[in-house]
Structure 1
Amino acid sequence: MTSFKRWNNIVGWAVFAIAALVYLMTMEPVSSLWDCSEFIATSYKLEVGHPPGAPLFMMLARLATLFAAGNPDFVGMAVNGMNSIASAFCILFLFWTITHLARRLVTRDGSQLTRANVWAILGAGIVGALAYTFTDTFWFSAIEGEVYALSSMFTALVVWLMLKWEEEADQPHSSRWIVLIAYMMGLSIGVHILNLLTIPALVFIYYFRTTEKVTFKGIVYATLIAGAILIFVNNIIIPYTVYVGAMLDLFFVNTLGLPVNSGMVLFALALIGGMGWASWYTHRKGKVVWNIILLSTTMILIGFSSYAS
């Protein structure tokens, strides 16, 4: 197992290097069609892009433009380079996801890994990851100043983190992976909401890992729970946290005569403070499930707070 982990890391980073090299060598020199020019310009000036906005992408791209050394001619290249590296990380996490699933498949009946099995698993990861590296749609997204490259990286990262939880589900504090996943999802909203599509897959991984006997009824319940989580994040957290804060700010400014944003700041502090207290209370009372739910919701909100920019 130690040998497999070592070679899994070595080969994974080698695949990452291949993808990064290909994308950096073929990336757009400045900009391509559609939204790329807007994203590059708004990132460089830290302005607001078209709705629903991508504040985390803007901030990360702004950091990337610092490597342009103040020369506007290289700003587009810096943003494209950031996306190329992010896409290479997507390929890395895809490789590790494939090798994890292949290893679980080979050892599902308690068998030990042989040298042949190890190389077969690594070969599957290489073929799968490099095949995706050179697919048209992903390659085009990887080399331009759009949000899809960074969004794909977050999506691959979240799936890989869930498999890390699956591997350690029986260990103490394994729920930390779920809380980390929630934070990554919250952050990814500031890039693109594509990441939310992983929620059903994550719920099913949790269900199959924690259930001794899989039943049709259990699958139906898991599907309903996945749908409820998706609706909660997409239809309640994303629109209504901002809406309630805006209405409170309107009351503070128009009715009480307080400064602009005073109501929004108070709402944000009250929300995070309340969620933090509830998380602490459920931990103290030993309510594990509620504690994980509250912690995860809090981390989604913290990640989503990139929109405060």
Structure 2
Amino acid sequence: MNDKTLQRIMALAVFALAFIVYLATMASTVSFWDCGELLAASNILGNPHPPGNPLFTLIARVFIMVMPLHEIAMRVNFISVLTSALTVMMSFLFTIKALRIIFKGEITNFMLYCGGLIAAFLVGFADTFWFSAVEAEVYGSSMFLVMTISWLTLYWYENRGTPKADRALILIGYLGFLGM
């Protein structure tokens, strides 16, 4: 098995573990604070308090219309579960890419993957992150965009001076504006 295949398998395993844990601990109804406001705004395509989080509201509305779960709150809570698990996976991938750049091949694959796993699980199972991952909040989707932009920044750094790097910069800008 080559290195790229192993990295993809481990990234999917990290995602699957975080997803299963978050799904098992997901709130089955409306949680406190902003969750009810976000749920109501998403259901009618309204605007919650500033800054409004339009991307989350649109995605939540799609999930409300498409997902076959009984409770609307569970449908929107599922977005946080999904995007938070994706954030944990991106933390793993970001750490591996960062360590490869920093150590320039002077690190074993075992150490590389151990570092990635430790970073991903420290993010994923931190109390604050986990608490936000199982309720209807924008933090999971925002962190997913931040981690994806961070990974793309390292991708740009590795490929700077090529057309791939230019495309990565355009995607970074686009994702940054989506996250506003």
Shorter-chain TM-score category? over 0.9
Shift of 1:31: 1.3
Taking CA–CA contacts closer than 8 Å with sequence separation of 6 or more, which of the two structures ends up with the larger relative contact order?
2
In structure 2, C-alpha distance between the alignment counterparts of 1:8 and 1:155, rounded to whole Å: 21
1:185 aligns with 2:176: yes
In structure 2, C-alpha distance between the alignment counterparts of 1:105 and 1:45, rounded to whole Å: 47
Structure 1's consecutive aligned runs of 4 or more residues displaced over 3 angstroms after TM superposition are none
2:93 to 96, 121, 124: 96
Which residue number in structure 1 is paired with residue 60 of structure 2? Answer: 61
CA contact (8 A) 1:68 1:74 kept: no
Q: How does 1:1-309 map to 2 (within 5 A)?
A: 3-69=2-68, 73-107=70-104, 117-189=108-180
CA contact (8 A) 2:96 2:116 kept: yes
In structure 1, C-alpha distance between the alignment counterparts of 2:9 and 2:164, rounded to whole Å: 28
Match for 2:86: what amino acid? F
Residue aligned with 2:30, SS: coil
In structure 1, C-alpha distance between the alignment counterparts of 2:166 and 2:134, rounded to whole Å: 36
In structure 1, C-alpha distance between the alignment counterparts of 2:164 and 2:143, rounded to whole Å: 28
Residue aligned with 2:165, SS: coil
- Give per-residue Cα distances to partners, 1:75-95, cap 9 Å, x unaligned: 100100111000011111110
Match for 1:82: what amino acid? I
In structure 2, C-alpha distance between the alignment counterparts of 1:173 and 1:8, rounded to whole Å: 21
Aligned CA-pair RMSD: 1.7
Shift of 1:67: 3.5
- Give per-residue Cα distances to partners, 1:60-87, cap 9 Å, x unaligned: 0011112444x7x511001001110000
- Give per-residue Cα distances to partners, 1:133-158, cap 9 Å, x unaligned: 11010001111111111111111110
In structure 1, C-alpha distance between the alignment counterparts of 2:65 and 2:144, rounded to whole Å: 22
Instruction: Point out where structure 2 has 5 or more consecutive residues left out of the alignment.
Output: none
In structure 1, C-alpha distance between the alignment counterparts of 2:8 and 2:163, rounded to whole Å: 25
CA contact (8 A) 1:57 1:147 kept: yes
Shift of 1:165: 0.8
- Give per-residue Cα distances to partners, 1:238-271, cap 9 Å, x unaligned: xxxxxxxxxxxxxxxxxxxxxxxxxxxxxxxxxx
Match for 1:139: what amino acid? W
CA contact (8 A) 2:156 2:164 kept: no
- Tell me how many residue pairs correspond in the alignment: 180
Match for 1:99: what amino acid? I
- Give per-residue Cα distances to partners, 1:164-211, cap 9 Å, x unaligned: 11111143442111111000000000xxxxxxxxxxxxxxxxxxxxxx
After superposition, the Cα gap between the structure-2 partners of 1:133 and 1:173, relative to the gap in structure 1 and judged at 3 Å, is closer
After superposition, the Cα gap between the structure-2 partners of 1:8 and 1:88, relative to the gap in structure 1 and judged at 3 Å, is same
Structure ID, larger Rg: 1
Residue aligned with 1:102, SS: helix
Q: Taking every aligned residue pair, what percent have the same amino acid on both sides?
A: 34
Which residue number in structure 2 is paired with residue 231 of structure 1? Answer: none
In structure 2, C-alpha distance between the alignment counterparts of 1:67 and 1:21, rounded to whole Å: 21
